[in-house]
């Protein structure tokens, strides 16, 4: 693999948390999963690594990798989730910056450390973003298979158009819930955090399980700087919180991370109002789209129905995520990745059955 192009340089693990948070604000394609707080709380402070790409001394790209090492050996995994970041706000996308960023990741984690590198871009597999494949392949990455699907709400359309395209039953349920004039509390402070914790606990007790890692998302929220914290909306009925929705405020594509309902919310259809208000928030704040957080008809048929019917007439347009892209020249690290991935999949299957 060749060195970085002339004028490009990469700095590895030479930045602190405050500096990382400050730089993230410059990128349109910043994401929750690239925040220092998420990486540190999900994997541990010692299991994250940060790469900053510069062009003639100016920052043009960044990537946070979560690491899993095999003790005592030159074997490990590096996972870049919802990254890397290279789209600077107000500047046209620079393919050369992305290409050198991908090369820098390979030079550091694949060649120098001997790890298996997996990059899952913060992209949807569309005609526009498919051009990324050529850059990845040119830098020695192979395209893996990611079966995950999601629901994307395109915010270039007007709110009226989005609403008209909803499934008829979804729209009618939303209208009925709106006529109840439910009280809503919005914010990111400690009071709303406590409401969210209460509702998550209530839903977990009712269902016996909880999709995703919502407790972790709340802990990450507390650790994030104010500019990157989640935004919460709580529905209150008779002075009691009955439903909560929390979403990211980073980057240009929205993502809901916390969703919980109490028993009383089922009678009011409060969730319909909360999800619509989230779409309104993202539209008002200039986001390009909302990624509804993935769908799986087999594991979560209720969530699949709820999310897909927001789109209604446009359901057929829903894509897969782009990637993942893998790079490795260490056979032992590749075997380590296969074993780790099979273990993760088995644990997910067990959770789905419990």
Measured from the Cβ of residue 25, the count of other Cβ atoms closer than 10 Å reads: 12
pTM of the full structure? 0.91
How far separated are the first and last CA of the chain, in Å rounded?
46
**Domain architecture of the chain: domains with CATH:** 8-147+321-353 (3.40.630.30), 152-317 (3.40.630.30)
State residue 64 phi and psi, 5-degree precision: -105, 130
Give the H/E segment covering residue 64: strand 58-69
Residue ranges in the chain whose pLDDT is less than 70: 1, 125-130, 145-147, 207-212, 313-319, 345-354
pLDDT in tens, 16-32: 999 999 999 999 999 99
Q: What is the pLDDT of residue 127?
A: 60
Q: What is the per-residue pLDDT for 352?
A: 44
Which one, of 109, 114, 102, 113, lies nearest residue 140 by Cα?
102
Q: Give the pair of three-digit tokens for residue 116.
A: 């298996």
**308-325 pLDDT, tens per residue?**
888 876 555 556 778 799
Task: For the sheet with 231-237, list strands across it.
Answer: 183-187, 231-237, 240-247, 256-261
pLDDT digits (tens, 9 = 90+) for 267-303: 788 999 999 999 999 999 999 999 988 777 777 877 7
């Amino acid at each position: 693999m060749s060195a970085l192009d002339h004028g490009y340089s990469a700095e590895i693990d030479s930045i602190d948390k405050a500096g990382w948070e400050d730089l993230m604000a410059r990128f349109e394609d910043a994401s929750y999963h690239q925040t220092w707080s998420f990486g540190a709380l999900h994997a541990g402070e010692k299991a994250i690594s940060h790469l900053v790409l510069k062009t003639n001394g100016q920052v043009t790209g960044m990537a946070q990798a979560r690491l899993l090492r095999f003790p005592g050996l030159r074997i490990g995994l590096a996972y870049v989730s919802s990254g890397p970041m290279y789209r600077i706000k107000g500047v046209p996308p620079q393919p050369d910056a992305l290409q050198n960023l991908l090369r820098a990741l390979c030079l550091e984690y694949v060649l120098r450390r001997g790890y298996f590198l997996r990059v899952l871009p913060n992209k949807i597999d569309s005609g526009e973003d498919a051009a990324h494949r050529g850059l990845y392949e040119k830098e020695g990455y192979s395209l893996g298979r990611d079966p995950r699907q999601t629901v994307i709400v395109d915010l270039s359309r007007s709110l009226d158009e989005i609403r008209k395209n909803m499934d008829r039953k979804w729209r009618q349920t939303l209208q009925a819930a709106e006529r109840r004039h439910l009280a809503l509390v919005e914010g990111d402070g400690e009071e709303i955090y406590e409401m969210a914790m209460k509702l998550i606990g209530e839903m977990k007790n009712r269902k016996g399980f909880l999709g995703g890692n919502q407790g972790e998302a709340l802990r990450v929220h507390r650790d994030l700087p104010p500019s990157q914290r989640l935004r919460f909306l709580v529905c209150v009925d008779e002075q009691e919180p009955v439903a909560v929705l929390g979403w990211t405020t980073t980057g240009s594509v929205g993502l809901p991370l916390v969703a919980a309902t109490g028993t009383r919310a089922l009678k009011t259809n409060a969730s319909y109002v909360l999800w619509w208000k989230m779409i309104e928030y993202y539209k008002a704040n200039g986001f390009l789209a909302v990624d509804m957080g993935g769908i799986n008809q087999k594991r979560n048929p209720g969530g699949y129905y709820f999310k897909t019917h927001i789109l209604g007439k446009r359901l057929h347009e829903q894509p897969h995520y782009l990637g993942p892209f893998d790079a490795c020249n260490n056979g032992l690290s590749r075997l380590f990745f296969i074993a780790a991935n099979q273990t993760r999949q088995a644990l997910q299957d067990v959770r789905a059955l419990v």
